[in-house]
Amino acid sequence: MTLLGSLLHPAHPPAPHLDQLIPSAAMPGGEVEIRGTHLAAQNGILPTATIGDVAARLTMTGSVRAMLRVNDGTISGDIALLKQNTKSNLLPLSVAVPLADNLNPVANPAMDVDGNLYCTLSGPRGQQTPVSIFRIDRDFQMRPFAREILNATGLAFDRDGYLYCSSRAEGTVYRISPAGAVTTYAEGMGIATGLAFDEYGNLFVGDRSGSIFKIAPGGEIFVHATLESSMAAYHLAMLDDGTLLVSAPTTASHDVIHAVSPDGEVGVYFRGLGRPQGMAVDTKGNVFIAASLAGRRGIVRITPQKQASLAVSGPNLIGLCFTEDGTAALATRDALFHIDLQTEGRPLF
């Protein structure tokens, strides 16, 4: 090869270099953006990618940016790009693994003090399912927990270990003992959906017509706040200062998370999400929400300074709850997944 030819077509092209993954966690089917250098094709040959020892598909490549899709069956591992016998450095990707399927959550799962997870089999509105709530034990065995709750929707635990469940078909909130005994706790809650407790034991109940009810520990019921008639109070989460966060998916392109003060005043906490749904809060006050951000679906992290970024990439996400040791349970339309986010969830009380 001539000197000119060797300059134009070096025998050893620069190896790809990876600087950052956005985000660094994904569901199967999610897409991860890779930023770095020398990521484009060389002499017409596209680079290939692996996650651990498993091949992954690049959906787009450029000199400093590439997009990678996480295939079904992939587990957490290091991402590498290979190009003409050169290999990049490695960056770790956390991949969600399945916990349970054949479910139908429409809001967040919930975890008890012993680390057991609870998730609904909600079903179409007005249709009874054989089991309303399943429990996924620490040994990953899924067992029926509660029955005969029509369209089980929102879940929340109180400080005594009782699980509360709303029925969007009946407008009823049920109280369920640790042994699975179901009793009626409150009725007349409209289209009852999201549930959240404050530090004083008050239970807040979202209504898809826009009302937010407050049930005191003694059983007294108040209308705590009312959103605009076009806004549904479907998903609820509580901040340390007593601010209640409210979200619901609409047809708008820039949906909001509402903030309701302890006095019932309604404001905007964050604007700019697509179809926001279930939320959870970590010990640093970051809000994690199932939503789309800039056209990409997954779990969005919103800092107390209102900076938003994608924390987990993935389709069909409905909600989440933090579990143990920095991990989280993610709910899709029909399953639960487990993922390491290295994030500690906010204590419920």
Instruction: Compute the Cα dihedral for 331, 335, 340, 345 and give only its sign.
Output: positive
Same domain (yes/no): 132, 168: yes
- The residues pairing with 280 across neighbouring beta strands, listed in sequence order, are 288
Residue 269 lies in a domain: yes
Q: For residue 230, give the CATH number of its domain.
A: 2.130.10.10
User: 204 and 320 share a domain?
Assistant: yes
Alpha carbon distance 265, 13 (integer Å): 61
Please state, in angstroms and rounded to a whole number, the distance separating the CA atoms of residues 106 and 115: 21
The full length of the chain comes to 349
Q: Could you tell me if residue 91 is inside a domain?
A: yes
- Within a domain: 345: no
What strands lie across the sheet with 221-226, from one edge to the other? 192-197, 203-207, 211-215, 221-226
Listed residues 72, 95, 118: the one ending a domain: 95
Read off the DSSP letter of residue 345: B
The answer on 238 and 226 residing in a single domain is yes
Instruction: For residues 169 and 303, state if they share a domain.
Output: yes
Q: Do 74 and 109 have their domain in common?
A: no
Query: Are residues 273 and 130 part of one domain?
Result: yes
Map residue 321 onto helix, strand or coil: strand
Give me the pLDDT at residue 254, please. 87
Run of H or E residues at 8: helix 3-8
> Residue 3 above 50 pLDDT?
no
The residue out of 36, 71, 95 marking a domain boundary is 95
State whether 180 and 106 are in the same domain.
yes
Does residue 206 belong to any structural domain of this protein? yes
- The domain tally of the chain equals 2
One domain, residues 80 and 105: no
Residue pLDDT, tens place only, 131-172: 999 999 998 999 999 999 999 999 999 999 999 999 999 999
Q: Are 278 and 336 in contact (CB under 8 A)?
A: no
Q: What angle do CA 52, 75, 277 make, to 5 degrees?
A: 135
Query: Residue 81: which CATH number?
Result: 2.60.40.10
**Partners of residue 279 on adjacent β-strands:** 289
The residue-averaged pLDDT of 246-274 equals 92
pLDDT at 125: 87
Domain for residue 348, yes or no? no
pLDDT at 6: 47
Check whether 1 has a pLDDT greater than 50: no
The tens digit of pLDDT for each residue in 33-92 reads 999 999 998 887 889 999 998 999 999 999 999 999 999 999 999 999 999 889 999 999
Q: Which residue has the tokens 């990707």?
A: 93
Flag whether 133 is in a domain: yes
Alpha-carbon span 275 to 40, nearest angstrom: 34
Could you tell me if residue 349 is inside a domain? no
What's residue 229's pLDDT? 64
Same domain, 281 and 326: yes
Domain of 267, in residue numbers: 97-340
Q: Do 25 and 172 sit in the same domain of this protein?
A: no
Q: Is the pLDDT of residue 234 over 50?
A: yes
Q: What is the chain's percent helix, strand, coil content, to nearest 5?
A: 0, 50, 45
Residue 327: name the closest of 166, 39, 117, 66 by CA: 117
Question: Are residues 146 and 115 part of one domain?
Answer: yes
- Please say if the pLDDT value at position 253 is more than 80: no
Residue 230: predicted pLDDT: 60
Q: Is 244 part of any domain?
A: yes
- Whether the pLDDT of residue 219 is over 90: the answer is yes
**Boundary-marking domain end, from 95, 126, 155:** 95
- 184, 306: one domain: yes
